Structure 1
Amino acid sequence: MQTFAIRRKSNWKDTAELSVTAGVSARVGNEEMPDQVRWIRSYVVREDDGRLGTVCIYQGEDADAIQEHARRVGMSADEIVLIEDTVVVREDPVNQMASVA
């Protein structure tokens, strides 16, 4: 599998809506397309219009599989970019909300 970054712009009005989509995304990936796509992580961003978007890291057999996953879930894949390599300077910081739980 190859690694991709996917930009999803202004797909959700709030974190509750995003959470519902995340559940569908995980189910579709794990149950319907387990040999084609693998969700690694997502970074949630606040868009200029106030809605939420994401930058997601996925593994997939190709960009078409990533696009098909997004279609089945009902979310955009505004930009799909093949990741050539990874350079980790520091691990991702722990989200404040996650550290409270």
Structure 2
Amino acid sequence: MNLYAIIRRNGWASGADLEAAAARSTHVGDQEMPGDIRWIRSYVLDEGGDGTVGTLCIYEASSPEAIREHARRADLPVDEIVAIADTVVVRPDPVAA
């Protein structure tokens, strides 16, 4: 398994839409593809103040193709997949906004 960042721009019209997508993603990852993909965390992106949100997600996955298959099954957008070479933690994430 490798670590990837997945950028999903303007993926959802609201936080409620994102919550529904997160439930689909968890189901597909945990139930349908447990050996291929594991969701680690996501950062929700404010896409311009009109309520739409995107995400920058961190996943462990067997390949970029597994990420695309997971997204297809969970009906999630994928704008970009970037392999993560290393992790540098200067400080832990602050308390959720």
What's the TM-score bracket when you normalise by the shorter of the two chains?
over 0.9
Unaligned 5+ runs, structure 1? 97-101
Unaligned 5+ runs, structure 2? none
Whichever residue aligns with residue 17 of structure 2, its letter is E
**Partners in 1 of 2:46 and 2:17 — Cα distance?**
14
* Alignment correspondent of 1:67: 68
Task: Provide the identity percentage.
Answer: 50
Return 46-55 or 60-69, whichever deviates more.
46-55
Whichever residue aligns with residue 94 of structure 2, its letter is P
Mapping 1:1-101, distance limit 5 Å: 1-48=1-48, 50=50, 51-96=52-97
Let me know the Cα RMSD of the aligned residues. 1.1
Check conservation: 1:4, 1:59, Cα contact below 8 A.
yes
- The TM-score, its normalising length taken from structure 1, stands at 0.91
Q: Number of paired residues?
A: 96
